[in-house]
Structure 1
Amino acid sequence: MRDPVEPDGFSPTRASTRVETEFDDVRLVLRRWQAACVDGALPPYEELALGSVGRFADEMAVVRIAADREGFILRAGPRFGALAGLAEPAVSLSALPFALQRAVAGAIDLSRLAAKPRLTLCRSIVDGMVSTVEVLALPLSCRWPGEYFLIFARPRKAQVDLARLLINSTDEGIMALSALETASGEARDYQILSMNDAAARLLGVSAEAMRYHLLSETCAAQRLTDLLDRCGEARAHGVAAPSLELEYELDGEAISLQVGVAETEGLLAVTLTDIREIRNREMLFRSLFDDNPVPMYVRRADGGAFLNVNAAALNLYGRSRAEFLALSIGKLVPGTADRPAVSGERFVRHRTATGADLDVVEYARAITVGGQPAMLSTIVDITERKRAEERVSFLAHHDPLTGVGNRTTFSQEIEDAVATAVAGHQPFTLVLIDLDDFKAVNDTLGHAAGDSLLIETAARIRRLLRRTDLVARLGGDEFAVLLRGALGRNDVETLARRIIQTISEPHGYEGHRLSIGASLGAAMAPVDAREAGALLKCADLALYRSKRDGKGAFHFFEPEMDVEMRERRALELELRSADFDRELELHYQPIISLRSGGLRGFEALVRWRNPRRGMVSPAEFIPLAEETGMIEAIGRWVLDEACRRAASWPDDLIIAVNASAVQFRQGQFAETIRVAIDMSGLDPSRLEIEITESVLLADTGANLALLQQLREIGVRVALDDFGTGYSSMSYLRRFPFSRLKIDRSFVRDIGSSRESMAIVRAIIGLGANLGIDTTAEGVETGAQLELLRQERCGEIQGFLFSPPVDSVGAARIIETYRNGESKVA
């Protein structure tokens, strides 16, 4: 193995990372340099230059590098001088030929950096042959100023034929031929003067063996000779040589060549280009084009003429191949003239044979067809995608059910409108709409009926508005209308009344006549507020007033509404912080049996004695408790207190407790009742839970399951305010209620209203037929009492006997009835 010299080598053309010397005696020089190194120090100049390597002095030069990095040859041997072409033995390095100068300088720089000998190669060309000279730099130490190096230079024996190197470096076959002519001047054969390795490989011969032989001795002789003869004929007639292609078999393999011919003074330079890969690519392209499921077509690069089209494109555009190729680009892309095609991606609208428009993305790139520039277009039909995107964009700004604006759009529009109004340009009015009784329809007939009603409601509102106005659905059964322009209060109120009237008109759905109402509240900008949030709050306060006043109402915002709302918030805070045991108390209204004339029990009614406000009406704080979720805590307190108090009464008296719809729907209601009964020791049969018809509207299955739980506990269940709600009569058949309570609104008018009397009579009769007792509320006169007795009503309540009283008053009533001092005659 040769010892390498690793100079990270340098040559005039490129650096080598590892160069090895091919001379054994140079390795001897390297070993002597290494032996002269003592304790890691460089060998002294005198010892090495004048001593151990003296026999190599003819091929060496001594170089000193001055402080300014300029190099000088102090002494050069005759062979080095001859190699470098030196006229005198001592000269500057810059006097050396350029290639040798660069090689010496490179070896010195690498040697200085490594503090070791380093080798570079210097190559030059003489008579077409590449010669290589090894240049070795050995660093030395010296007592004189500067850096010293021994430079060894010796040419390598081997030379490279540059022309052959170049000609054999290509995969393209190259031949030099001499035509052998007959006496008539016609070429019959061709002598091979030279060929490269690629040509020999393509023709299946040896390059050296075929030198000076005849072309006819190759396997492709006849076809190639014919091609060369055709070129000769073309030249003789002064026309350009045709494009030549040569096909033949070599060892069972098909060969396809492109042949190029150039003539100089009777010599032919022939190039052979292997086009098999190109042919394969063309075949692959045709396959990918023709069979591609993606529509594609090819057109001339300089205009709109179509050159080819695949089946997928014909199917997309609904045309035959002949029809498509005869099209102008303007027929495919309306409004486009025949102009040069452009590479790249573009969105464009194409037209089919039926006249339908397609939204497409066209990806075009330049290709060559038959030697001529063309453009290949790949078509992606995005019609459906674009429609989907438009749908997504629509849904981003519109309510998907009704098609009117959504909350996002409304928020953006009202922000812009407020900014414009505050700037003094365009005042506007905001109207909030809340549907009355919508939940009852939705719960009784299902969400499909509710959706149909919402769609119809939105359409009715839209028909009443101007094009400049905006209607939006904010969610559920809430709508908002933005009325642009300076409308007067009378105009807004007239429109609001028309909206209420229009919404209240019945809507038909699958044989049902759906009827709802609407409550409206309005605020005007910038009069009522100068910010979007504040304006919404004002309109919401007006809407709250309308809903509180009853169905089908409309109100403008008034400043006192804000005061009222703040008062309501304050009441809410006080309710949240209330000490139930000290502030809440139960009042009891007696329930009288008409059959026995005796006391049947009491209905427990909660009261709030606020430390600051005094007694607060249940009509004020119970709805507030339901809205805030506090009704559950209040309901637990009422149950615990009512059961505890009733446990001290005689065993034949019942206690009736009202249950809120919120309590009834929360999952722990049955457990709350069970705990109250267990803690008080009350017989469950003495507790009667009163629920309104509205409680039963939400979830039939869940309602029946909870009613069944109450039945298993043993408590009684009464249906309060019967006849005023929307519950299904099927509940009366599917669950055995203990009582039906007739609402006081019917009892109040039984002496003056035939309709009220008929309703009371029907409820009592229904209860009797189902085996359910009936209780009439709000009995205040003897006439009412007599009519109810005649109709065989079971029980009664009302001020005629006693208003609700505290626990002490209840104890007196119990004592009075027990002593026989009071009895309904």
Structure 2
Amino acid sequence: MATRSFLRGFTDRAAARGESAKHSDDHAAVIAMSDSTRRLEVLDDCENADFAWLWASDPEGRLIYISPGAAARLDCDAEQILARPLVDIFEVATDNPGGSSQRPLKFQLTARSKINNLIVHVAPGEGERTRKWWSLSGHPKVDAAGTFLGYRGSAKDVTVEYERKLQDSRLAEYDSLTGLANRHRMNRLLDGTLASFKAAKRSCALLMLDLDRFKHVNDTMGHQAGDDLLKQVSERLLRIIGDAGEVGRLGGDEFQVILPDLDDRGALGELADKLIQMISQPYPIGDKRAIIGTSVGIAIAPYDGLDRDGLVHSADLALYAAKNSGRGQFRFFSHDLKDEAEERQRLMEDLREALATDALELHYQPVVRLEDNLVVGFEGLMRWNHPERGFVSPGTFIPMAEESNLIIQLGDWALRRACRDAVAWPQTVKVAVNVSALQFANPGFLDSVAEALKSSELTPERLELELTESVFMGDNTLVDETFKSLKELGVKLALDDFGTGYSSLSYLRSAPFDRIKVDKTFVDSCTARDQNSAKIIAAIIGLSNALDIETTVEGVEAFDQLDLVREKGARFIQGWIYSKALPQNEVIERMSIGTFKIEPDGPDRYRAERRKVLKRIGVIHGDHRLQGVMRDLSKTGAGIEGLFGIGMNESVVLDLGEGQLAVCQVTRVREGEIGVEFETPLVSDGAGGLCTRHRISPYALAAAGMPLEALPKGSYPMGLSAKA
């Protein structure tokens, strides 16, 4: 019985193996195209294994099928996304690491184009935080009658690969230190912007920024501090520019800003001023504080360049001009700018020679006691009369000297000269000398001060050193020790330009200042409406009185300003209402006739200086273009000579050059001369000059039928040209 049972079991197992082998043979056979059942099995196997996902849409672009595995990868059921429009589920990637742009999915579906490996961001529902990237392919399905039935396609998850490409692309296009776009990316963006804007007849502004005194931070505080500073500068730039443009770091301390669709030079000037002001605020670096500044060059397409090379070159020239005119300034490009780099180098060589040959001078501006108009001191101001260039502004050569460290030699010279000259004055009269941050931080500075006093035999308390808050940059211990040593020498200390920078009260608490100087910028606007300058002046004077520190108000030029600062409690005044800076021989001459008193003399009311100019311009009067000579210019009007036949209250258009057309009304008529008032006030060009807020587009001129010959040489797109 046992044997028969074993044989029967063996037979059953053999039969089972035979049946299984038969099925195996069936599945090993080639699957015919007509075998829909087995083909469906293959499809199911692939979908279940996640080798590929399938999807389908209806003619209206709604999802009607998606593989279960795909839905599971999205952490949802298929029912949650079926019947939804594809454009609600898939969003085409805009940050394509390949650099080529992809058309929106809606456009492609509407065009019924074939979709081939389209990278999309998947956002199936609310609260989805993890970004997923898919590669989408599909083709339009039509029936025999040509009716569109929707799409049939495949998809796969490429998140890991795509994120890696994005990271590689970011490393290639973004600055690793600051996270800003690098030079390569900025070049690509500018190329693309200018190419598309040229066809659309749109404008684009380019700002070039260069940090002032950054090298000093690196030299005194170390490269790690310099890197930290660059990161903070980048954060401030991003906060100021926001979504209005793209900010990039080109390398070192050079930055670039692209601002599409902006040609308003008034707005650009205001933005540049804001950048300069915000970047000039102190930076915390560990337990220290760094103070730098910036200069800005501005160029605008299509006026200043049509392509990247032309526009960047124009912005660079404007930047060099801004730096050459003094720190903390902006400058618009104009076609009469020279190569400032070469000009700057020649001027620097001439400055070295002037210092070596004692060709520089110190002039002295009086500080007057308001109660009796008695001169109680002078500020020594450096003057350079170049044998070929004439007078060179200190705002031009002092920043150059600071960048080359020549400022230390210049500062030592000024100390010696001021002390030597002051010995010839009455004992009650002090002399003030400006000290730069570089000079203050120089290890030999204390010896220079002591030597100047010793060689001149000037009483130490008659020497006042004027310092700005930039001296607090660097080693706090070293700064405190220097202050202590200076007070031991017996010299006086003044905090200059107070209120224009960070102006921390900790300066007054930690440093032994004897005087605070209220900056001219507050005085210029103290009598204007809707200004806080008068309140700031009153606050600084009140603070000084509370701390038992004397105050000097700088830059007083008119009686309305003098009356206001007197009302706010000012006791000492320095400004043109009393005197400009005088050479030493004139100071001695004025003192020789007795007590040096100066009666104030100036205009009743302060107004911005009307600039004297001598420039040939075009004047469009009706259908005629005339030539005239502009004699003076202000923000609101101008005086023009050489014109006849123009009556009062008539409208004219001044061609100020480079596409600057100013509409104005005649307000004064004399023989051969007219005065005009501008319909729109001019704005600052950042270099002490004025320019129109907007320039007239050559496209608009051509459309209006105006002769392009009326415009000066410049850039005019699409084959337009202008003769000189």
Q: TM-score when scaled to structure 1?
A: 0.43
The alignment's TM-score, normalised by the length of structure 2, stands at: 0.48
Compare relative contact order (CA 8 Å, sep 6+) and give the higher one, 1 or 2.
Answer: 2
